[in-house]
Structure 1
């Protein structure tokens, strides 16, 4: 268990941003004898709330593995957790976080919890109901960040059918994501969520939301990893004060298939030897310096701790350029079965 806390401003030049602080330890009053754990610095969202610049992803974590991973993550120092309705693990995540709160390892105020509105709930009349249901699953009174996970709505059959299919086609709707967004804005007014944002939206779609609603997204969560950096979209979001969260930040490494190639390359092995860090640590450090918030997923306690320990070293410019020069690859998450929908956000092949 983690004991004690010190809230300090990091004196290193790399963290001289007044919006960024480093938290050591847990959320209790500090004691001289307490053990400290380095946590991720924070960035201030346009909504006024602080968000740690490294998060813990939970896709495909379920059951006992999910519970143990969340416990390990909290005790390692993570305070930013990312889930979604279609991950079907909100109940386990809430249970583990509440247990950690009861143990005194963390307070609710120092947890930043993100979850998402799934595609079957785009009907504005359904938004509040499902958000309240997700809060019940999590066991919390509010959600820190609520994202519309995709701009395309699916037909709602029931809450348990996440992807309604007719033969081989996904049953979609023509619900306008702007109308869904306006319903999400009401969640903020009701105090159910603190901030709202988007996921998998392109520049034109974000701009339309900004122009057609009373608030702009604080976050756009998109696929980003070396070889798929989406520079134009990141630059657009940065210009508009929208923080970018990077899912699949490592490119979903597969040791058996040795994919993506960059992760297992001789160049990466050289960097691992040079910095005495894992390939994952090097990539996460690179993405943080790029200005996005990675949310790596891990189930192994050693990898969970390792992924957080990236704030005590810096990559040299020559190595940053080498990572920047990785040849562009195709996106991993494509939603190809709905690519003909008018709100499909990705490039279509001719």
Structure 2
């Protein structure tokens, strides 16, 4: 069944559940409840990040689920991310270990470089100069950071590594020199931003494309109001969200969706395969092309307010 689909990773030893639950959620208490509801609904892939500021809450929810016997650690694919201020190789291990402690796990299944942009190292997540401009760090290269992630895999506490918010060009640069190839690439993708060229490159190199903003975040133009999506939803007796998510899984990508409402979480897990002609309709019939998040140009995620991770789902 589509909802239980897993995609093999390039290391050959593990696979990633196609259906993932994103954890950029307003506050710790809400995060904990939402993660618990996601695990109860059947999600076995949790996407976290140092930058979201709530790894502790995700860890508590997992700990409670493991203790209750609801789910086993080995059944949950846990991803987290290295933030931009920790790109210097000497900072990577400490950042990784801090995430492990907050998540209360002995290893993570996948560790991603949150964006390819290095920010000024330090405790300020969003370093800015007197003009409000981001302070970048020119003292480190993306390849240098990647080498530090490869060392984490060597240590055995990180099963696989990858990149997030990356362009095809930067991905090619890493793939060309990597000793351990990226297993996962997380980017914004949905029927309004299908990223076919990037997906084809990922397929050729055994990389899983993991789509965030898979439902477009309800931003304008609203993907879930698209006539093609709505017509298919009516025909197959599913919601527009279920159609968009099934499209993502069926075309070979994994995806992330986020909600704090248990009924919506269950809906987002309750997917069924679309007819092949519906898949073709989405590919051929949707002409809108838009990126909702400009993070790949700046390194600043558009769905994380500068004051801190208080809203959104990225």
Confirm or deny: 8 A CA contact 1:169 1:337 kept in the other structure: no
Give SS of 1:245's match.
strand
Shift in Å, 1:60: 2.9
Q: Decide whether aligned partners of structure 1 residues 337 and 289 sit closer, same or farther in structure 2, where only a CA change above 3 A counts.
A: closer
Q: Partners in 2 of 1:268 and 1:44 — Cα distance?
A: 29
2:127 corresponds to 1:164: yes
Greater relative contact order, per chain length (Cα 8 Å cut-off, separation 6+): 2
TM-score by length of 1: 0.81
Structure possessing the higher radius of gyration over alpha carbons: 1
2:98 corresponds to 1:133: yes
Equivalent residue for 2:225? 264
Give SS of 2:187's match.
strand
2:69 corresponds to 1:100: no
Give SS of 2:217's match.
coil
Give the count of matched residue pairs.
Answer: 295
Q: Partners in 2 of 1:121 and 1:205 — Cα distance?
A: 19
Q: Partners in 1 of 2:97 and 2:149 — Cα distance?
A: 12
Shift in Å, 1:323: 1.4
Confirm or deny: 8 A CA contact 2:59 2:104 kept in the other structure: yes
Equivalent residue for 1:236? 201
Shift in Å, 1:205: 1.7
Q: Decide whether aligned partners of structure 1 residues 267 and 203 sit closer, same or farther in structure 2, where only a CA change above 3 A counts.
A: closer
Confirm or deny: 8 A CA contact 2:81 2:114 kept in the other structure: yes
Deviations 1:269-305 (A, max 9, x none): 3222221111110100111111111111111100101
Q: Partners in 1 of 2:104 and 2:221 — Cα distance?
A: 38
2:30 corresponds to 1:40: no
Equivalent residue for 2:179? 214
Q: Decide whether aligned partners of structure 1 residues 276 and 204 sit closer, same or farther in structure 2, where only a CA change above 3 A counts.
A: same
Q: Decide whether aligned partners of structure 1 residues 194 and 168 sit closer, same or farther in structure 2, where only a CA change above 3 A counts.
A: same
Shift in Å, 1:336: 7.9
Q: Which blocks of at least 5 consecutive residues in structure 1 are unaligned?
A: 1-9, 16-38, 340-350
Shift in Å, 1:322: 2.3
Shift in Å, 1:318: 3.0
Deviations 1:126-163 (A, max 9, x none): 000110011111111111100011111000231xx211
Deviations 1:4-61 (A, max 9, x none): xxxxxx7xxxx8xxxxxxxxxxxxxxxxxxxxxxx52212101121211111111234
Deviations 1:167-194 (A, max 9, x none): 2100001210000000011111112211
